[in-house]
Amino acid sequence: MSDSDLFARARAWAADDPDLRTQQALLQNIALASSGDDNALDELASAFAGPLTFGTAGLRAPLGAGPARMNRVVVMQAAAGLANYLLTNHADGCAVVIGFDARHQSDEFAAATAQVLTGYGIDAMVLPRPLPTPVLAFAVRHLGCAAGVMVTASHNPAQDNGYKVYLGDGCQIIPPVDAQIAAGMQAASRRPVREIPLGGNWVTLSDQVEQAYLDAVTGALVRTSASGVRCVYTPLHGVGGTVFEAATQQLGWPAPEPVDAQFVPDSDFPTVAFPNPEEPGALDLAVAQARATNPDLVIAHDPDADRCAVAVRDEHRATDPTASGQWRMLTGDELGAILAWWLAKSSTAPGSVLAQSLVSCTLMESIARSAGLGYERTLTGFKWIGRVPDLRFGYEEALGYCTQPTVVRDKDGIAAALAVLACTAALRDQGRTLLDVLDEIAYQHGLYRTAQVSIRVRQINQIPQIMRTLRTAPPERIAELPVQQVIDLANGWQGLPPTDGLILDLGDANRVIIRPSGTEPKVKCYLQVVEPVTTDLAHARQVANQRIEALQSAMRARLESW
């Protein structure tokens, strides 16, 4: 696109933009770019590089004007696309429930969605305040809606926002529905946004929906008393705090010990560089408080409380003896294995299934088989995991856990945190800890170690180039391990639909999976090594740690070379 075409598109957008803030910011950027400001020109080109598409978790992008950004125009077009889909498939009428978190403009985007849906004659109900994503996912089925919308960018940076769409089954949209909604969204983008019909008679719901969620999530919990378990807790400036507190209160458990500086929702996330519990430093304040107050656990939620992180005292298991007794965060795969073990022990329903995403640690398959339960592997995202028939528990390594699929068919950080507290209490009655469970699992199934390496790209078109290079010239060895097989997931694999990714099979369950992120401009590598355990678990742990670190170094060097 030439500069003149870019400026013309941008001016046309500004003329149609109903939001004066983004309109004025865009006009200022056009003026700067026209006067030779290269940074302004780059930002303008990026904002108009193409329309947003539904990825692993819906639409996500930085806030700002343009079709590749999150703004009122894009939200209205997305709502129009959803409305057209619903009118085609629910000719007799239907309703949509809309939730939102505490990010910048989330409430405005929720209201704009309700305006558009009611303008098309669809009943719209909006949750009464910023609430966690799992409350919205619960509300879809609880209220008998045909769809749900959650305005959130989950764990993305403060400048981002996003848009998730759920169907009546309480799961996020999958093909071909995403393409059908996107087609309606594109059709709406071809005419002035002011031509989209708007209504004003939506319903603002009461707190009864939140209470119904709390009743369901506490009622479905594996029953045990956690009356003596203490946890330091942070919602990372998100919306999980009061809901998690209410759940523990309803159960009669001790209130979480809040990290006060991070408890109140704040859309700027002032104490963390990146509001993702997986990121280094995100739990620093919580761990510092834990060192001072000596709780049983540290629990963290991401800003929309659909993910759950847990930190524990490392005790005698630290690779470095001087680090004994220090706090460390469990990996998503470690907590997934613990919850799978815990929920499998309590599952008596025949045909119950444990499910996980393709990139998660394969240890859970062994746990499921040994417990006599079914096992399913899915593509990345709970839009796939939540739809597994007879699901008992599902997880993905990015701290997402579905512990109560009869309540929420999506990842639910509130329910996961309650399950962790219940499990911790039951183990403590036996004189055991979560780390003791990991040791038991290692002796029975082998010691699994997983890690990630990722690179963030400046231009989204770099990702297909990197994947193309890997497909045409895959490595023959990685960290001295020979690549025994290259599996191109674009061709489908073991019954899974095609997806953009590669598996580098290193033998003996060791592997590297490479795929583009579905929520950020990143290429991600998922690493796994497995070390058999006979009697010396400490030695097996040391060997596995060395091997995973070698794989990390090798893949980081390879990715950074691009």
Q: What is the 3-state secondary structure (H, E, C) of 459-472?
A: CCCHHHHHHHHHHH
| Structure tokens belonging to residue 4 | 């003149």
- Answer whether 240's CB lies under 8 Å from 305's CB: yes
Count of Cβ atoms closer than 10 Å to residue 77 Cβ: 26
In this structure, of 245-249, 325-329, 473-477, 511-515, the range with the lowest mean pLDDT score is 325-329
What pLDDT score was predicted for residue 559?
82
What confidence tier does 505 reach under pLDDT thresholds 50, 70, 90?
A: very high
Mean pLDDT (the chain, rounded):
93
What pLDDT score was predicted for residue 316?
55
Return the DSSP state at 489.
Answer: G
Count of Cβ atoms closer than 10 Å to residue 524 Cβ: 20
The amino acid that residue 423 corresponds to is C
CA-atom Rg of the chain in angstroms: 24
Q: How far is CA 177 from the centre of its chain?
A: 20
What confidence tier does 317 reach under pLDDT thresholds 50, 70, 90?
A: low
User: At a CB cut-off of 8 Å and minimum separation 6, what does 385 contact?
Assistant: 355, 356, 357, 378, 391, 394, 395, 396, 402
What are the tens digits of pLDDT across the range 351-366? 799 999 999 999 999 9
What pLDDT score was predicted for residue 320?
46
> CA 354, CA 373: separation in Å to the nearest integer?
7
> CA 554, CA 255: separation in Å to the nearest integer?
45
Strands (E), 21-100: 59-62, 95-100
User: At a CB cut-off of 8 Å and minimum separation 6, what does 548 contact?
Assistant: 449, 450, 451, 527, 529
What are the tens digits of pLDDT across the range 59-72? 999 999 999 999 99
What pLDDT score was predicted for residue 325?
58
Average pLDDT over residues 503-514: 95
What pLDDT score was predicted for residue 456?
82
Q: How far is CA 16 from the centre of its chain?
A: 33
- Answer whether 281's CB lies under 8 Å from 309's CB: no
> CA 17, CA 38: separation in Å to the nearest integer?
24
Query: By three-state DSSP, how is residue 298 classified?
Result: strand
Higher pLDDT, residue 355 or 344 = 355
The two beta strands, 502-507 and 160-167, are unpaired
- Answer whether 421's CB lies under 8 Å from 257's CB: no
The amino acid that residue 166 corresponds to is Y
- Answer whether 145's CB lies under 8 Å from 154's CB: no
Q: Which residues are catalytic?
A: 154
Please work out, in degrees rounded to the nearest 5, the angle formed at the alpha carbon of residue 332 by the alpha carbons of 317 and 447. Answer: 45
Please work out, in degrees rounded to the nearest 5, the angle formed at the alpha carbon of residue 15 by the alpha carbons of 14 and 18. Answer: 80
pTM: 0.94
**CA proximity to 335, closest of 191, 465, 434:** 434
pLDDT at 319 over 70: no
CA 212 vs CA 133, 206, 217, 412: distances in Å: 15, 11, 9, 15
User: At a CB cut-off of 8 Å and minimum separation 6, what does 508 contact?
Assistant: 530
pLDDT at 318 over 60: no
Report how far apart the first and last C-alpha atoms of the chain are (Å, whole number): 25
In this structure, of 155-164, 330-339, 385-394, 551-560, the range with the lowest mean pLDDT score is 551-560
| Structure tokens belonging to residue 224 | 């045990």
Percentage, residues of the chain above pLDDT 90: 85
| Structure tokens belonging to residue 94 | 């239907």
What pLDDT score was predicted for residue 487?
96
What pLDDT score was predicted for residue 323?
46
pLDDT at 321 over 50: no
Average pLDDT over residues 463-478: 90
What pLDDT score was predicted for residue 107?
98
Convert 127-182 into a string of H (helix), E (strand) and C (coil). CCCCCCHHHHHHHHHHCCCCEEEEECCCCCCCCEEEEEEEECCCCECCCCHHHHHH
> What are the φ/ψ torsions at residue 285 (nearest 5 degrees)?
-65, -40
Cis peptide before 532 (omega within 30 of 0): no
**CA proximity to 354, closest of 379, 371, 335:** 371
Count of Cβ atoms closer than 10 Å to residue 402 Cβ: 28
Give the burial string for 413-431 (b: 16+ CB within 10 Å, else e).
bbbbbbbbbbbbbbbeeee
Count of Cβ atoms closer than 10 Å to residue 91 Cβ: 8
User: At a CB cut-off of 8 Å and minimum separation 6, what does 219 contact?
Assistant: none
* Domains of the chain and CATH, by start: 70-205 (3.40.120.10), 211-443 (3.40.120.10), 447-560 (3.30.310.50)
What pLDDT score was predicted for residue 294?
94
What pLDDT score was predicted for residue 71?
98
> CA 511, CA 377: separation in Å to the nearest integer?
16
**CA proximity to 216, closest of 423, 344, 403:** 403
What pLDDT score was predicted for residue 53?
87
> CA 91, CA 89: separation in Å to the nearest integer?
6
pLDDT at 322 over 50: no
Average pLDDT over residues 114-131: 98
